[in-house]
Structure 1
C-alpha cells in the first residue's frame, strides 16, 4: 500500500503543468474557523520522478494550511486525485493558497486559491450601536435644554466662529489625514483610506460634550456641529472623489446620502425636543441642565469602554504607526484650531469650542461609510484607523478635564481657608482703641 501511495505521489510531478482545480477560485471563511476546500489534480503515469507535495499560504497570519492532504490510492479515479484541503482562517484579510510539487524536474505550483477571511456579525455590534444612539439622543435633549437660543441666532448673524470651524474642519483636517496616511502607510492602501475617511468626516457630537465639560461656548459648539454635519453632504463626496481617488483607485464608492441625512436628523430632532422642554417645562429643563455634566462624563466613559470591548479583535493589528496616526489627526487638529482662533482674537470660551470642534471627528460616520461602501474584509480592515483615532481623541481632553477639576478644587479650598481666617481672626488694635483703654484705666 505504501509503495502504491508513493508511486502515485511521484507520478504527479510528470505533467508539464501542475493542473490542480479547486472547487471555486476563491473561498470566504469566518475568522477562527477551518474550512475543507475540495480540489482535484491529474495523475499522469507516463513519467515517474521523485517529488515532494506541499501546500502553502502567502500570508499565514491571515490563513494557514495546518494539514497537508494525504494522497490515498482510493482517492484516485480515472487518473484524477480528488481530495480536500483544510484551511484555517486566522485573521481578517486575503491570502493565496497553492499546492506545489518539488521534484528533480523542477518545481510546479497550482493556480492560487484566493482565501478571504471575514468577521462574523455579532449581537454585541448591534447592541453597541443601539445603546450609543439612545444615549446620544438623550444627551442632545439635554443640550437643547441648556442652549441659549438667542445667542445661537446672534452667532449665525456674525458667523466668525462657525466660519473658522468650517475652514479647519473641511480644509485642514482632510489634507492632514491625507499627509499622515501618505507618510505612515505609503504601501498600505487600506490604512490610508481609513485615515482619509476619518479626516473628511464632520465633527462629532463628543465635541459638544467636551466643550460643556471644559467650560467652552456650548452654543457655538452645537451650532458648528450642526453646520458641519449638514455641510458633510457636499464636502465628503467632494473629497472622496477628488483627492481620495489617488488612494482608492476605483471611483464607484457609494456614499450613503440617506444615512448621513438620518444622522443629521438624529442630531436636530433631540435638540428640538430639548427646545420644547425649555419653553414648556421649565422645571424639567432645570433638572436636565443640572445632570448635563455628570451624564456627559458617564457617556464618554461608556462609549470608550464599549468601543474597545466591541472592537477588541482589531488590536491585533495595532502597531506604532497606527498609534501615531491615531494621535496625530485629533491632537494636531486641537492645536491648529486653537492657534487659528487665538490669532483671530476670539474669546477664550470660543477658542476652547473651536479647538475641540476641529480635533474631534465623527469616527462613527467614517466607520459607517467604510463598512457599507467597501467589500469585506477591506470594510473591517479600513476601520482600524478611525478606531485608533476614536481611542486617542479623548486623551488630551481627559487630562485637561482632570487638571481643571484639581484646579477648581484647589481654588475652592483656598477660598474656604481665606474665609475661615477672616472670620476667626481677632480685630487689629487701633490708636483710638488704645486711647479708649487708657481713659478707662485712669477713670478706674
Structure 2
C-alpha cells in the first residue's frame, strides 16, 4: 500500500532542516612560504619543503590536548616530519602551525590531516596534492655533453673510413636499407604496441614509454656495433642516415594513428627540431671525416686504425655512465619492465637477421641489418616522453627506454665474446698444425719418386 503524500513531504522537510542547520565544520588550508594557498605543491626528490598549516572553524575546540596528525598517502615516496602537532593556541577559532615534507622518490602523493580529540579522530575534507620530481644535476649535463662530443669524434672516424663507391652501390640496389626500414618503421612499432598491451594492460604511461621507444629511429650505436662485430660499416651508416631522415615522417604517422589509442590527450608535439639537430649532428662529423680522407690521407689511415678501439671505449663509457646517472630508475624495475627491455631489441635482431638471410645478403650485411633493426635511438624516445608527459610521469616512463638501452647490447656483447673466442681457437689450431718438411710434395709423391 502506497504511503500518503504527507509522509513524503515530512521526509523532505526533515532532510532540508538537517542540511540548512548543519554546524560549521573545521577546515584546513595549506600555504607555502609565499603565503599563497596551496592545493598542489612540488617537491624535488631528496629535498625538504616547509608547509604552513591554517585551521579554521575551531570555535568549539576546548580541549587543549587536541592534536593534528599529518599523514602521507604513500610513505615510500613522501615523508612527513614535525608531527603530531599540538593545538595549543587557538585565536578566534583559527590555528596556525607548520610541518615539513620530504620527497624520497618520484611520484605523486596526498597529504591528509587528522584531528584527534578525546580519543576521537576526524579527517579534514581538504588534502594537499604533492608531486615529487627529480632535480637536474650537473652530472646529467656533463653526461649529455660528453656523449655529444665523443659521438662527434667517432663519426669523424666513420667519415674517414667511409667508402663512397660502396655507398653508391648500396643505393643502386637498396635491399639492405629496405629491409632495415621495414623492420625499423613497420615491425618495431607494432611489436612495441602489442608488447605494451600484454605487459602493462593497466598502465598507460608504460605503454607509451614502450611505444615511443618502438617508433624512434635507429641509433648511432648501430654503426659502432657494426664496426666491432665485423658488419658492413658503409651499409650501416647508410641505413642509419635513411632511418634518421625517415623519422620526420614515420614518427608522426605512428603517433597520430596507432598512438592515439593509448595516448588520447590532444595534440602531441613531435620534436622535429630535436630530430633535425640529431640528423645534422650525424652528417657534419661525417663530412669532416670525408674531408680528412680526401686531403689528409695519413691522418685518415690513423683514424681508421683506431676506429674499433674508439668504438669499444665509447660503448663501455655510455653503458657505465648511463647506469651511474640513472641509478634511481632501478628501483622501478619489475619483471615486466625487464621483459620489455630485452624483448624489443632481441626479437628485432632475430627478425632482421632472418629477413636478411631470406634475401640472401652477405654475412657482413646480415650483421649490419640485424644490428640496425634492433638498436633504437632511446635518447629520442626519452625526449618525447619528457615533452609529452607532465612530471613526474615523464621521468617515470623513461624507465622503459633506459631498460631497452641497457638490454640492447647484451646479445651483441655475447656475440663479440664468441667471435673473439672463435678467432683465438682458430689461431691456436693453426699454430698447433705440423709444418711439412717439403711444402712442394703432395701425398708423398716426391718420396716415392726418390725411392724409385
CA deviations on 1:29-64 (whole Å, 9 max, x unpaired) are 111122121121124334779987432222222212
The answer to whether residue 450 in structure 2 is matched with residue 433 in structure 1 is yes
**Alignment partner of 1:40 out of 42, 45, 54:** 54
Take 1:59 and 1:336, find their aligned partners in 2: how far apart are those partners? Answer: 43
Which among 3, 7, 21 is matched to residue 29 of structure 2?
21
- Cα shift at 1:377: 1.4
Separation in structure 2 between the aligned mates of residue 414 and residue 244 of structure 1, nearest angstrom: 55
Question: How does 1:28-427 map onto structure 2 within 5 Å?
Answer: 28-46=42-60, 53-74=68-89, 76-101=90-115, 107-418=122-433, 421-422=435-436
1:180-223 alpha-carbon deviations (Å, 9 max, x no partner): 22111222222222111111110011111111111111111110
How far the C-alpha of 1:401 sits from its partner, in A, is 0.4
Shift in Å, 1:356: 0.6
Cα distance in structure 1, aligned partners of 2:133 and 2:124: 26
Separation (CA, whole Å) in 2 of partners of 1:383 and 1:261: 22
Q: Secondary structure at the match of 1:396?
A: helix
On the 8 A contact 2:67/2:84 being kept in 1, the answer is no
Per-residue deviation at 1:320? 1.5
Distance 1:201 1:153, change over 3 A: same
**Residues 173 and 199 in structure 1, CA contact (< 8 A), matched pair in contact too:** yes
Deviates more, 1:184-193 or 1:360-369: 184-193
- 2:26 and 2:178 mapped to 1: Cα distance? 65
Report if the CA contact (8 A) 1:69-1:85 is conserved.
Answer: no
Partner of 1:3: none
TM-score w.r.t. the length of structure 2 is 0.87
State the Cα distance separating 1:344 from its structure 2 match. 2.3
Query: Structure 2: where are the runs of 5+ without partners?
Result: 1-21, 32-37
Higher helix share: 1
Superposition RMSD on alpha carbons, in Å? 2.3
Q: How far did 1:106 drift?
A: 7.8
In structure 2, what is the Cα distance between the partners aligned to 1:16 and 1:175?
A: 58
1:111 and 1:47, CA in 2 relative to 1: closer, same or farther beyond 3 A? closer
Residues 226 and 232 of structure 2 are in contact (CA less than 8 Å); yes or no, is this contact kept in structure 1? yes
How many residues align? The count is 420
TM-score by length of 1: 0.89
Gaps of 5+ in 1: 1-13, 436-444
Q: Deviations over 1:343-367 (max 9, x none)?
A: 2222222211111101000111111
Could you tell me how far apart the structure 1 residues matched to 2:61 and 2:102 are? Answer: 34
- Residues 15/89 of structure 1: CA separation in 2 closer, same or farther (3 Å cut): farther
Describe the shift of the 1:333–1:102 C-alpha distance in structure 2 as closer, same or farther (beyond 3 A): farther
CA distance in structure 1 between the partners assigned to 2:437 and 2:244 by the alignment: 54
State the partner residue of 2:34.
Answer: none
CA contact 1:241–1:251 (8 Å) conserved in 2: no
Please give the secondary structure, in 1, of the residue aligned with 2:114.
strand
Write the deviation string for residues 366-404 of structure 1: whole angstroms up to 9, x where unpaired: 112222343321221111111110000000000000110
CA contact (8 A) 1:278 1:285 kept: yes
Deviates more, 1:25-34 or 1:96-105: 96-105
Structure 1 contact 15–44 (Cα < 8 Å) conserved: no
Is the Cα contact below 8 Å between 1:334 and 1:359 reproduced in 2? yes
CA distance in 2, matches of 1:424, 1:39: 99
SS in 2 for 1:430: helix
